[in-house]
């Protein structure tokens, strides 16, 4: 089992942050495309090679995010039409999320087996998440999934703050 931590800096316009291990060493680097269309987040390993890419689909009636790992599309997160509460679905072959993923408290399952657990770190400045990797082969997919869900949450928050103005 390996523990990783994702901590985003509050008020960071560059949209750059790192994923650290339990010894606080950088394991992944994440860079967002600030003010560009389509909105993307690139996840790179320690040698700065891209291992995953998150892209928000443009010109879509409802928001949709695509996640690629090592050049292969592995999952899609899309908003579903609903009148009351925002609902999202995750489409992925063999990957399932159980728990409250909008509150960042969930398990990641692959073919019915728990491969990762995610929990929000409370009492921290900015968004911080603890990610337990139970299957190291799934590590990049799990990290990409957590960052993609965080993108969905940020997109939803931006949309609702824009609608209330």
**Model confidence pLDDT, tens digit, residues 83-107:** 666 667 788 888 888 888 778 889 9
Residues lower than pLDDT 50 in the chain? 10-11, 164-165
* Of residues 149, 162, 151, the one with CA closest to residue 40: 151
pLDDT of residue 165: 44
Segment holding 6, helix H or strand E = strand 2-7
Please state whether the predicted TM-score (pTM) of the whole model is above 0.95.
no
Q: Report the b/e string of 64-74 with b at 16+ CB within 10 A.
A: bbbbbbeeeeb
For the chain, domains (ranges, CATH) are 2-163 (2.40.160.200)
pLDDT of residue 162: 60
Q: Is residue 116 within 8 Å of residue 108, measured between CB atoms?
A: yes
pLDDT of residue 136: 93
Query: Do you know the residue count of the chain?
Result: 165
pLDDT of residue 123: 63
């Amino acid at each position: 089992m390996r523990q990783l931590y994702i901590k985003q800096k509050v008020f960071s316009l560059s949209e750059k942050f790192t994923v650290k291990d339990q010894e606080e060493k950088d394991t992944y680097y994440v860079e967002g495309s600030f003010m560009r269309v389509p909105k993307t987040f690139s996840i790179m390993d320690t040698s700065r090679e891209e291992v995953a890419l998150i892209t928000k689909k443009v010109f879509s009636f409802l928001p949709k995010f695509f996640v690629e790992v090592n050049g292969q599309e592995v999952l899609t997160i899309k908003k579903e039409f609903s009148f009351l509460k925002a609902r999202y679905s995750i489409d992925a072959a063999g990957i399932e999320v159980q728990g409250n993923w909008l509150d960042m408290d969930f398990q990641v399952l692959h073919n019915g087996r728990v491969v990762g657990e995610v929990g929000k770190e409370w009492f921290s400045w900015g968004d911080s998440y603890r990610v337990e990797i139970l299957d190291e082969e799934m590590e990049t997919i799990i990290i990409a999934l957590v960052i993609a869900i965080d993108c969905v949450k940020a997109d939803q928050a931006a949309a609702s703050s824009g609608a209330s103005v």
